[in-house]
Amino acid sequence: VNGLQARTFGVWTLLSSVIRCLCAIDIRNRTLYYLTLFTFFLALIHFLSEVFVYRTAALTIGVMAPLMVASFSILGMLIGLQYLEVEALSQNKKKN
């Protein structure tokens, strides 16, 4: 890893955390919700590819922790997405 790669990964991590914090503030914003869900998918794919495709990382606790966070977050957000959709439908019925 050189300095450029480290800074790029750092900025990507910072951007992801800003998006996730904004989603936590405005959880009913569907666009932001999908964007946040996408950041967790990107993180999961990134770490899985480093371990199993490129073999540049070993399956240690340092790699397993982000894998578990991304996996559980994706699962939780997919479950929460159902409630978000139901809420949107009920609001549409109230307007009509």
For residue 96, give the 3-state DSSP assignment. coil
At 94 the pLDDT is 81
Tokens of 88: 């949107």
User: What's the CA gap between 27 and 5, in Å, rounded?
Assistant: 32
> Tens of pLDDT along 8-47?
999 999 999 999 999 999 999 999 999 999 999 999 999 9
User: What's the CA gap between 67 and 61, in Å, rounded?
Assistant: 10
Quick one: pLDDT band at residue 57, thresholds 50, 70, 90?
A: very high
At 87 the pLDDT is 82
Q: How many domains does the chain have?
A: 1
User: What's the CA gap between 81 and 26, in Å, rounded?
Assistant: 14
User: What's the CA gap between 61 and 77, in Å, rounded?
Assistant: 24
Question: DSSP class of residue 50?
Answer: I
At 93 the pLDDT is 80
Average pLDDT, the chain: 93
pTM, two decimals, is: 0.88
Which residues span the domain enclosing 76? 3-95
